[in-house]
Amino acid sequence: MAGRDQSALLLIAAVLVLFASSTATAQQQQNCSSAKFSAGRSFQRCTSLPVLGASLYWTYHAANGTADVAFRAPSDPSGWVAWGINTQSAGSMAGSSVFIASHSQDGNGAVSVLSTYLESTGNPSLTNNTLRVAVPAGPAAELFNTEYSGGAYTFYATVALPGNRTLQNTVWQAGPLSGGGIATHPTAPPNLQSTQKLDFLSGSRITGAGAPKSRGLLSRRSLRGFQG
C-alpha cells in the first residue's frame, strides 16, 4: 500500500511540474505577445528570453528559409545589447554572427547597429558588415532598423537561417559603453546563461547549453565606423 501511495504522489508531483512549466510558457508568450512596434510591424511568434530581460519576436518564411526578427532588451543609454546566431557551436559566443545596438557616443543621440562576426571572445575585431549569415535585401527586408524607447533597445533584421535549418544556436548579451567604445559585458550568472537553441518553426527552445563559454564576449572597441 505504501508503495502505491508513493507512486501516486510521484505521479501527482510530475503532473504539477508539467502544469507549472506549461503555465510559465503561456505567461511568457502572453507577456511578449503584448509588445508594440513602430511602423505597424507585427510578428507571428515571440519568446521571453530567460535572462537579461530580453525578448525575441520573429516571423519565419518557409518559402525562402528566412526570418524577420525583432530583438528587444532593456538598457540605459550608456549600454549596448546584442543578439545573434552561432553558426559554429552551441552555448558559445565565439563563432556567432551578432547585431549590437548602442547609442552614438558623440553626443548626437543616434542609435544604430553593428553587424559583426565574433571570431573569438577574448579580443574580437568587431569589424562591421562581417556577418556569416546572409541578410537578404529587398523591399520587405528589415535592414538593421534600430530604436531606443522606454529604457530598451529594439532592432529589426531579416536573416537567412544558416543551412536552411529552423533549429539554430542563438545568443544574446548586454553590457556597458566606456570611453566611446563597447566594453566587456559583466560575468554575472545571467550574462553567462544567455544562449539557447531555438526552433524558428515551432518556437521550441533549449536554454543554457554550454552557457559558461559565453564568458568575455567583448573587449572594448571603438564605436567609430558603424554608428549611423
Residue 194 backbone dihedrals phi, psi, to 5 degrees? -90, 55
As a whole number of angstroms, the distance between CA 105 and CA 223 comes to 8
At residue 28, the pLDDT reads: 41
Query: What is the pLDDT, as a whole number, of residue 162?
Result: 96
Which of 62-76, 96-110, 117-131, 199-213 is the most confident on average? 62-76
Pair 172, 202: CB distance under 8 Å? no
The architecture (CATH level 2) of 41-222 comes to Sandwich (2.60)
**Average pLDDT, whole number, for the chain?**
79
pLDDT band at 25 (very low <50, low <70, confident <90, very high): very low
Cell 567604445 maps to which residue?
A: 181
Query: Please, are residues 58 and 43 in contact by the beta-carbon 8 Å criterion?
Result: yes
**Confidence band (pLDDT; 50, 70, 90) for 24?**
very low
Give 184's DSSP letter: P
CA atoms within 13 A on the CB side of 210: 14
**pLDDT above 50 for 50:** yes
Where does the pLDDT of residue 154 fall: very low under 50, low under 70, confident under 90, or very high at 90 and above? very high
Question: CA–CA separation, 154 vs 128, rounded Å?
Answer: 19
pLDDT in tens, 101-144: 999 866 677 888 999 999 887 778 888 999 999 998 766 677 77
Are 127 and 114 a contacting pair, CB within 8 Å? no
Bridge partners of residue 45, in order along the sequence:
58
Q: Are strands 205-207 and 195-199 parallel, antiparallel or unpaired?
A: antiparallel
In the prediction, which pLDDT does 10 show?
43
